Amino acid sequence: MIDAMFFNMRRGTVEKDCVHFALGMDDEGHEQILGFWLNPTESSTSWESLLSDLKNRGAAEVLLFVADALSGIEESVKRQYPRSDFQSCTVHAMRNALSRVRASDRYTVAKELNVRLKGRS
């Protein structure tokens, strides 16, 4: 899984910086933080650089990436790891879908999406 969050950082003044992180899981299901990086913004270019860093540090083959739908991130993943699959994070997909739903209908739509995402009818 790869994602980024913005935090307030104090370096003389307080400014928001982006912390990118990568979480990996091995064949036995053990999770491990593979790295985190500070960048001023989140972009496909910054992700490609970070993925290249992961590859150079020994993450030679990644079977699946799960990430948000940031423009260009899937292409960056494919350039560094051409054999890997890419999946949009269900939380991000749900937030994106609900942002286009009328406020009065969000609860009903969210409940239905949640049921369908979990594979129940």
Q: Mean per-residue pLDDT for 7-25? A: 90
pTM: 0.71
Is the separation of the CB atoms in 87 and 110 below 8 Å?
Answer: no
Distance CA 67, CA 88 (A): 5
The answer, yes or no, to whether residue 113 has pLDDT greater than 90, is: no
Give residue limits of the domains in the chain: 2-88, 89-121
pLDDT at 55: 94
Residue 49 tokens, joined: 């650089």
Element (H, E) at 29: none
Cβ contacts of residue 117 below 8 Å, gap of 6+? 90, 93, 94
At residue 20 the predicted structure's pLDDT band, cuts being 50, 70 and 90, is: very high
